[in-house]
Each structure stands twice: as C-alpha cells, then as structure tokens.
Amino acid sequence: MRHFIACPLAIACSLAAIHSPLQAADATYDFALPAAPLANTLIRIGQQSGQQVLFIPADVDSSQAAPVQGRLSASQAIQQALRGTGLTLHITSNGALSIQPSAPTESAGTMSLDAMTVVDNQLGTITENTKSYTPGVIASATKLVLTPRETPQTVTVITRQHMDDFNLTSIDKVMQHTPGITVTSRDSERSEYYARGFGITNFQYDGIPIQRQAQYSSGNTMSDMIAYDRIEIIKGASGITTGSGGPGATLNLVRKKPTHEFSGHATAEAGRWDNYRTEWDMGGPLNESATIRGRAVGAFQDRHSFQDHYKTQTKAYYGILEVDLSPSTMLTFGADYNKSIPTGSSWGGVPIFDAEGNDVHTSRSFNPGASWSAWKQFSRSFFTQLDHYFDNGWVNRTYYTYQTNGYDAQLGSVGLWSPEDNTLDAARYRGKTRSQALEIYASGPFELFGRQHELVVGASAYRNHWQGNDFRYRSIPVENQSFYDWTGDIRRPDWGSPVRDNDQLTLQRAVYSTAHFKPTDNLAFTLGARVTNYRLSRNVYAKKTGEVTPFAGVVYDLNDNFSLYASYTSIFLPSSNKDQNGSVLQPDEGDSYEGGIKGEWFHGRLNASLAYFEIREDNRAEYAGFNVERNESYYEGIKAKTKGLELELSGEIAPGWNIQTGYTWMTIRRDDDNKKITTEQPEHQFKLYTTYRLPGIFNKLTVGGGANYQGTTWMDVSNPVKGTVQNHQEAFWLVNLMSKYQFTDKLSATLNINNLFDKYYYTNIGYYSTKAYGEPRSMMLTTRWDF
C-alpha cells in the first residue's frame, strides 16, 4: 500500500475547498514560486489553491521543483513544478492531484483515501482519518519534521484510529496502551506514568512544554482525548525541546485541526457500573472561500465505579479557529477546558497490614474514602499561533499559550495506617498552577557542499506559578462501624483556615538550534543544542544559568528498509525536593544514550525499532526518610545507572490489519552498591494491540484485542511487627477484546471488553504501605454517527 501525503494546507490540516472538484480544477491563481525542494513547492501549491495534493515522500525527496510563475490552475502549476523530475500528475476520482512516477508501480494504481495522510509541516502528520496506527512524520523529538525511521530516538505514537478502536477516552487509558509505559494509580484520582524507570513530568501541548504539578494531581492526567489527534511519547531525555525535565519520556498531546470540509461525529456510550458518555465533534470552512475554518468538540461522562460509593462526572470542551491572512500566513486561536467532579474519592489505598502484622483482606469494591471526599480538578487553556511561509521554503511559527490547572481536594480515608485505628484521616488541599509559554522558531532548507540540509532555530520563554493552601490534618473517630463495615458515612470536618501556603515560581528562558545534515543519500546527522536559564523561587530557591543541553544523532540507511541509529543528549532536572537539613537538592544531571536499528515498510505504513538505552545520573533524588517536625519527606542525591532494551512495531502489516506492540526490559541500579532501585516498575513489560477488518462480504466487521504483560514488582513497606518488609506483586497478564460493526457508511457500533478474564491485580503496591486494586472486567458499547 502506498503512503500518500496530502498538502493543501501548510500548518494545520489543509485549506478546506468547498467548491466541487471541477470548479476547483478550473480556478486559477497567481503563482510566483522560485526553484525549491519539490515537496515544499507542492505544499505551497496545495495551500494557495485549496486542493488536495497527494504524493509519496520517497518519490519527491530527491527532486527540485522548477520555478512556477503566472496565473495558473493548480494542475498547471504542478506540471510546471514537475519539469525534469521524471514524475507525472494524475487526477483521482475525487478531484485530488496525485504525484506519481512516470511508470507507476502496480501498487500506485490501488491508491485509496484510506492510505492518505495530511501533513502539518510544523507538528508532523495528522493521523485522523488515516485509519493508521503509525504516523507519517513527527517533529516532537527535535523540532525537525522527520519520519520515525529518520528520527534518532524512540518515539511512540498513539494515533486517533487506535484511540477510537479501543475507546481510549482519557490520558490514563492511552498510557495503559503505550508500549514501555507503566501506570501507577495511588488512589481514585492520582495517576503516575513511568518510562524507562522514571516518572513522567514533561508534558507538551502542540510541542510547547508545560510543567506538571504531580504531587497535587492538578489536571494533566485527566485530559479527555476528544480534543486530540494523537499522543506522541518521546522516549528518553528531550532537553533540546523541553529544557529542564526528566530523562524517562515526554508526552506531547497534539490537538485536532479544522477539517477539509464540513464533517463531524456524535456518540452515545454505555458501560458497566452505570458508565455513560456522549461526545460531539464538528468542523469545516466558515466562509465561502474557506479562508476561515473552525472546529468545536465536547464530551460529557457520568460514571460510577467498581468501588463502593464512588462516582465522577467529567466535562471537556475544545474549539479552534484558523484564519488565512494571506496565501502564506495563517493565524490560529484555540481554547480547551476539562473538569472532573468526583464523589467518594479515596486518599491512598487500603493498608497492607493490620496492627498484628497480618495481611489485610478486603473486596475489590472496598472504598476507604468518605462519601463526601472529593478531589476536584480542572484545566483550561488558551493558545494562539501565527505561521508564515517564505518563498525560499522556510517556515516561521510564533506560539503563545496560557494554561491554568487547579485542584480542590477535600479528602477523608478510613484506616489509612491500620484497620484497628477506627479513625478517619482527613485533610484539605487547594491551589492553582498558572503557566505561560511563548515560543518562536523557524525551520527550512539550506545548501552546503552541494547538498540540501534542514535547520531549526528558536527561542522560548516559560513561566509556571504554583500557589496553594494546605489545611490542618485531622483525625476523626469513626463511631458505630468498624473498618470492615465501612460505608463512607461520616460528617465532614470544619477545615478552618489554611496552615501552610505553597508558592513556587519557575522561570525558564532558552535559545536552541537543531540541524539535519545529509552528507550522502544514506547518511544523516542531527546536531543541536539548547541553552537554558532556569530559576525556581518563592518557597524554595534554585537557579541555573547558561545550562547547555546538547543533542547529537546519526542515522545510516543499510538498505530500503533498515537503518542503524544512535543518539546522545544530556540531562538537566532541577529539584524541589529537600535533604534532611531542609535544603533543596542540586539538579539531577547526567547523560542519556540510545542506539539501535529501525525498520520501515510499505512507504512508512509499518515501522519498527529495536533500541538499547543507557542513562547515567549524577544526583538522582531518592527518598531517604520523613521529617516529623517539618511534616515532609526528605531525599538524598545518589549516582545511578539505567539500562534497557525496547522493541516496538506499529502500523499496517497487511491491508486492514493494524498492530501496535512493544517489549521493554529495564533496570536501574545505584553506582555505589549496585542495588536495584525503583522496583515498583517492572523489569519486563510487553503490550500488544491489534485490529483486523474482515475481507469480502464480512468487511463491515472489525475484530481486535490486546494483551498487557507486567513482570514481578515489589516495594519496601512498613509492617507493625516485622519492621520493613518487601511487598510483592507477581507477574500478570491482562487481556482485552474489541469488535466493531459498520452498519452504514455513517453508523457504527463498537464493543470493548477490558480485563476479559477478570484478573486480580494492584495499581499501588506500597505507597505509604497501602495497596489499591486494579479495575475488574468491564465493558463499553459505543454507537457512533458520522456526518
């Protein structure tokens, strides 16, 4: 199957043409395009004319376009550009303009819109409507628009099709499907994501970094997927694009763009435990010339849970507007909003041991939270960007975003320390994190030694201000019921006034540059650096000026399908953790290495990678104890080494058969005594998700499923009698199934079954010596109407 790139729009999805194909074909435009790389010229023609221009990257990568001058139709302009390239123009049945070799291969004649993708030249491939489990190109790792095979780093992408097939409506669910990612749920509201043994605190939205306030679970991990085209997970350190950050992975949530023409969908969903959801999504051109395009989406979910007296409502809204100020300039505005309103939130899990040191046994449905306990969260953001295309093939983007994440946690949990206590531990926390980010960068081609290369230069400014209040911790006697008879009914305490104020201001300023050199057809080097000024102030203080984060990568093509690659970058992770004396730890610094082999088949429709990674840290923050006087944990800085292997495969292995799978082996050890650390994360992990659309008369039916394997994990926990002991969770499998039936072109129904064999497992195996069960077997039926 051929992989086509559609280029009617430079920066978002495409210029939506509302004319018929014949009208569009007859229209003429004033072109004044200089000689340039053919791909860039085709993009400009598609942008200016509003027509779909389809091409295979491999067919045009080495070609230069001739100058295009005069008042011409889109097809006449393309014919001028193709002079001397050995390529020809074909018009598809729906009026799109397809670029093909003069002697098309057999597969070229079987092109379908299912194989077509739309390129956003600054962010990568839009995956919506591609029916694919892999992207065409990505830009999140280095700001350079490269295919997965050309990127000298492991990048996993969960596409829109994967999310729709398996009903991945939340970021938690997406992470559960992502190879190499571990999801740990401390309680009903707090989720932590881990990659390569490190907690993920680096979040990006459309490639712009926003810091996460992980401790208070303030909005990032509740993102509803209705607003997003795909989630990109950049494995390893990504200092070139994020500045400071952890070396495990970076999550880049890429928002949906306005559609080519008026279209949308609506769903009605119902599942186990009174789980109901509905969503709507519509977009298209807003004026006759299609120079203004918009999109609006929304989702509402009301769900109960397998946990007693727990339920939650979530709301999500998103809107985006694109305005073409000229054929070469586009202005974008957008905003989104998420809110979660739970009732019966748990705070921590169930204690592992009773006062006599024996295991505590409860049902999976047992909820230690009070009926009024609620960890409310919200997230809202506004963003705008200005994109301009220059005649020499360069592109400039200016992006600004303002985001507020907030929480109001009124919490109560029974038996937090021991079932015999017969007390409710209660506390209240509330606060907001306001983040602003401004980024300006430009990318484009340049020539050196007779060959063409790519360059990105940029600057960014980032401000993150967290302010919050902690109220007095309370211990309330539970009357007329024991721990095991707990129903959640108890009075809510009077919280009084705050006893502690949290105030942290983070400022970052940076300049960066990345270059992609092609000294030969088979060899490519990626070199870059970021210079960051970092400052943390208010309640805590830390400062770093002129921190240089280098990046170096190399890719060598062995043949048409395989490439060897290697990359290096440094680590810069400032800390707000304190040592036993109350002083802030020095930043965690070190080096991150990766190397391996990548494969690509069917013109990018199927991608694979095998990577070895090694991360060396000089000052890793490790928990060292609890200071009762300051009522906070304290840490020590240690040297550590992480190493591991990752194998991934994603895409279409046969017509109608999609797959995303990966195996990860990982271990982290201290340098001084070689002791293994972060044992809560599995050493071995495997994930597989696949769907297949049946052929012939059964082609209305799609079947699929998935499996997650997690190796043995353990944590040191406190036993009242035996002291510190290890709490183990043995290796386990989880199996999921899905099926979809397409009743008509517009109407479909999908059934998803998770944890098919109703496996008992834990999502928390020792946080404050508590445990939390994972979700039992669940089902969700989704009906969808496309229009």
Domain identity same for 68 and 204: no
What's the DSSP call for residue 520? S
Per the DSSP assignment, residues forming a β-bridge with 652 are 658
Per-residue pLDDT at 162 exceeds 90: yes
Q: Which of 224, 254, 284 is the last residue of a domain?
A: 254
Compute the distance between CA of residue 303 and CA of residue 172 in angstroms, rounded to an integer: 15
Per-residue model confidence (pLDDT) at position 739: 98
**DSSP result, 166-184:** TT--BHHHHHHHSTTEEEE
User: Within this chain, do residues 414 and 535 fall inside the same structural domain, yes or no?
Assistant: yes
Residue 716 lies in a domain: yes
User: Is residue 222 domain-shared with residue 341, that is, in the same domain?
Assistant: no
Q: What is the mean pLDDT of the chain?
A: 87
Lowest-pLDDT range, 2-16, 488-502, 656-670? 2-16
- Mean per-residue pLDDT, 446-469: 92
Query: Does any domain span residue 16?
Result: no
In the predicted model, is pLDDT for residue 124 greater than 90?
Answer: no
For the chain, what percent of residues have pLDDT higher than 70? Answer: 91
755 pLDDT higher than 60: yes
pLDDT digits (tens, 9 = 90+) for 272-298: 999 999 999 999 999 988 889 999 999
Reported as a single tens digit per residue, the pLDDT across 50-97 is 677 877 766 776 788 877 877 778 888 888 888 778 788 887 655 678
Give residues with Cβ within 8 angstroms of 392, minimum separation 6: 34, 36, 444, 445
**What type of residue is 719?**
N
Q: Which two tokens stand for residue 664?
A: 């990860």
Tokens found for residue 740: 């979809």
| pLDDT score of 300 more than 70 | yes
pLDDT value at residue 586: 84
- pLDDT value, residue 220: 66
- Residue 316 predicted with pLDDT over 60: yes
Residue 745's domain comprises 255-259+303-308+325-786
| Per-residue model confidence (pLDDT) at position 58 | 65
If asked whether residues 567 and 632 sit together in one domain, one would say yes
In a domain, 506, yes or no: yes
Q: Evaluate whether 35 touches 639 at the Cβ level (below 8 Å).
A: no
Residues 177, 69 share a domain? no
Q: Going by DSSP bridges, is the β-strand pair 474-477/498-517 parallel, antiparallel, or unpaired? A: unpaired
The first and second tokens of residue 502, run together, are 């949290």
Question: Is the pLDDT confidence value at 200 over 60?
Answer: yes
DSSP 195-213: ETTEE--EEEETTEEEE--
Task: Encode pLDDT of 264-273 as tens digits.
Answer: 999 999 999 9
38-49 helix and 74-81 helix, angle to the nearest 10 degrees: 170
Per DSSP bridges, beta strands 762-764 and 770-773 are antiparallel
On the question of pLDDT at 10 being above 60, the answer is no
Can you tell me the distance from the alpha carbon of 111 to that of 659, in angstroms, rounded to the nearest whole number? 21
Is residue 404 a part of any domain in this protein? yes
Where would I find the beta strands (DSSP E) of 472-587? Answer: 474-477, 498-517, 523-538, 542-557, 562-573
Task: State mean pLDDT over 604-610.
Answer: 94
Mean pLDDT of 417-432: 91
Alpha-carbon distance values, 179 to 120, 418, 458 (Å)? 25, 36, 31
CATH assignment of the domain containing 751: 2.40.170.20
Which range, 56-60, 76-80, 169-173, 671-675, is most confident?
Answer: 169-173
Look at residue 422 in the predicted model and tell me its pLDDT: 86
More confident residue, 299 or 394: 299
Identify the domain boundary among 254, 269, 286: 254
Q: What is the mean pLDDT of residues 201-215?
A: 78
Tokens describing residue 763? 């999502």
Q: Does one domain contain both 48 and 170?
A: no
Confidence at residue 122, expressed as pLDDT on a 0 to 100 scale: 66
| Range with the poorest average pLDDT among 99-103, 285-289, 774-778 | 99-103
Q: Are residues 593 and 734 in the same domain?
A: yes
Higher pLDDT, 200 or 26: 200
The answer to whether 671 and 692 are in contact (CB under 8 A) is no
CB atoms within 10 A of CB 448: 12
The CATH number given to whatever domain includes residue 185 is: 2.170.130.10
Whether 202 maps to a domain, the answer reads yes
Q: Give the residue, 533 or 45, on which the prediction is more confident.
A: 533
| pLDDT tier, 463 (very low <50, low <70, confident <90, very high otherwise) | very high
What DSSP element (H or E) covers 414?
Answer: strand 395-414
Q: What is the mean pLDDT of residues 19-40?
A: 64
pLDDT band at 13 (very low <50, low <70, confident <90, very high): very low
Q: What is the CATH number of the domain that holds 32?
A: 3.55.50.30
Q: Burial level of 658, CB count in 10 A (0-12/13-18/19+)?
A: buried
Question: What's the distance, CA 346 to chain centroid?
Answer: 26
Average pLDDT over residues 584-594: 88
Question: Residue type for 272, please?
Answer: R
Domain identity same for 471 and 582: yes
Q: How many domains does the chain have?
A: 3
Cα-based distances in Å from 164 to 158, 202, 627, 634, 750:
10, 25, 47, 43, 9
Strand-pairing partners, residue 739, are: 703, 751
Judged by average pLDDT, the poorest of 42-46, 688-692, 700-704 is 42-46
Question: Which has more confidence, 413 or 1?
Answer: 413
Are 543 and 619 in a shared domain? yes
Closest to 47 in 3D by CA, of 386, 388, 286: 388
Per-residue pLDDT averaged across 31-54, rounded? 76
Q: State both tokens at 449.
A: 């030694």
Residue 132 lies in a domain: no
Residues 675, 773, single domain; the answer is yes
Q: Does residue 430 share a domain with residue 503? A: yes
For residue 234, what are the β-bridge partners?
A: 155, 250
Residue 461 pLDDT greater than 70, yes or no: yes
pLDDT > 90: percent of the chain: 61
Q: Are 390 and 34 in contact (CB under 8 A)?
A: no
DSSP string, 473-505: PEEEE--S--GGG--S--PPP---SEEEEEEEE
Q: Kindly report the number of other CB atoms within 10 A of residue 88's CB atom.
A: 15
pLDDT per position as a tens digit, 335-365: 999 999 999 999 989 999 999 999 999 999 9
- Predicted local confidence at residue 113, as pLDDT: 33
Q: Is 665 exposed, middle or buried (0-12, 13-18, 19+ CB in 10 A)?
A: middle
Please tell me the least confidently modeled range out of 39-43, 418-422, 513-517, 756-760.
39-43
Q: pLDDT (tens digit, 9 = 90+) per residue, 725-746? A: 999 999 999 999 999 999 999 9
Reported confidence tier of residue 230, pLDDT bands at 50, 70, 90: very high
pLDDT band at 108 (very low <50, low <70, confident <90, very high): very low
Domain presence at residue 778: yes
**Beta-strand pair 53-55/97-101:** parallel
Which has more confidence, 677 or 647?
A: 647
Amino acid (1-letter code) at residue 298: G
In one-letter notation, the amino acid at residue 551 is: F
> Looking at the domain assignment, is residue 144 inside a domain?
no
Q: How confident is the model at residue 684, as a pLDDT? A: 97
Residue 584 binned pLDDT confidence (cut-offs 50, 70, 90): confident
CA–CA distance, 618 with 642 (Å, rounded to integer) = 12
Residues 531 and 663 in one domain: yes
User: DSSP secondary-structure letter at 694?
Assistant: P
Per-residue pLDDT of 468-521, as tens digits, reads 999 988 999 998 889 999 999 999 999 999 999 989 999 999 999 999 999 999
Domain's final residue, options 101, 120, 141: 101
